[in-house]
Amino acid sequence: MTSPRHAISDEIAKQKHYVTRAGWLRAAVLGANDGIVSTASLIIGVAAAHASQEAILLAGVAGLIAGAMSMAAGEYVSVSSQADSENADLARERLELDANPVAEHKELANIYVDRGLDNDLAHQTAAQLMAHDALATHARDELGISDLTLARPLQAAFTSALTFSTGAALPLLAVVFAPLENIIPLTTIISILVLGLLGALSAMAGGAPVLRAVVRVTVWGALAMAATALVGHWFGVAVG
C-alpha cells in the first residue's frame, strides 16, 4: 500500500513544467512562423505581379534558403551575446565569492529575507546552499541564471533554421502542384491553416491558451500576405 507521503511525491514527479521547454520552443515557433509567413508572402507578392510559375518557384526557394540561413545566423549571434553576458556575470561572481565570501553570504541571505524567510532561517539557508555549490546558488538566486534559462546558441540556431525550412516548404507545395491561376488562393489557404495549427501546437506545448495563440499567428500572417499581395499587384500594374 502506497503511503500518503509517497503518493504526494509521485504526484509531484508527474507534474509538467512547461518552462523547461522555453528555449527550444521559442526558437521553433519563431522559425516555423517566419518560414510560413515570409515565404508565403513572397510567393503571393511575386504571383500578384503576374510572374511566371518558374519565377514564383525560384523566388520561393531563394526565400527559403536565405531565410533559413538568416534565422540561423541571427539566432546564433543573438543567443551567443546572451551567453557571453552570462559567462561574464558568472566570472565576476566567482571572483567576488573568492574575494569576500562573507559579504556574498550576507547578500544571498538578504535575498531570501526579501522573499519571505525570517533572518535566521535566511542565513542558515544561504550557508547550506553556499556550502553545497556557492557559484550555482548565486547564479540562480542572485543573477537569475539556471539550467532552464541558460543560453544555448547552437541549439537555437539549428532549431530556427530547421523549423524555418519546414515552414517555408509548405507554401512552396502550392507553387509546385497548383495551376498558375490558383497559386495565390491555395498558398493563402494552406498558409493560414498551417499557421493556425502551429499556433495551437505551440500553445499546447507551452501550456498557454490555444485560441489566443491561433488568432495571433493567423491574423498577423494574413496581414503580411495581404500587404505583399497589394505591393505585387501595384508593381505588376505599373510594369505591365
For the stretch 53-104, pLDDT in tens is: 999 999 999 999 999 999 889 888 988 888 888 889 889 989 999 999 899 9
Residue 146 belongs to a domain: yes
Which residues of the chain are modeled with pLDDT < 50?
1-2, 4-15, 17-21
pLDDT of residue 159: 83
Find how far residue 171's CA is from the centre of its chain: 21
pLDDT of residue 144: 78
Contact indicator for 207, 20 with CB cutoff of 8 Å = no
pLDDT of residue 95: 93
Residue 135 belongs to a domain: yes
The C-alpha atoms of residue 48 and residue 142 are separated, in whole angstroms, by: 55
Residue 14 belongs to a domain: no
Residue 13 belongs to a domain: no
pLDDT of residue 147: 67
Residue 5 belongs to a domain: no
Residue 171 belongs to a domain: yes
Contact indicator for 213, 202 with CB cutoff of 8 Å = yes
Residue 182 belongs to a domain: yes
pLDDT of residue 113: 92
The C-alpha atoms of residue 218 and residue 123 are separated, in whole angstroms, by: 51
Q: Residue 62 is placed in which grid cell?
A: 531563394
**Total tally of structural domains belonging to the chain:** 1
DSSP conformation letters of 137-182:
HHHHHTS---TTT---HHHHHHHHHHHHHHHHHHHHHHHHHS-GGG
Residue 28 belongs to a domain: yes
pLDDT of residue 137: 87
Domain hosting residue 155, numbered range: 22-239
Contact indicator for 63, 187 with CB cutoff of 8 Å = no
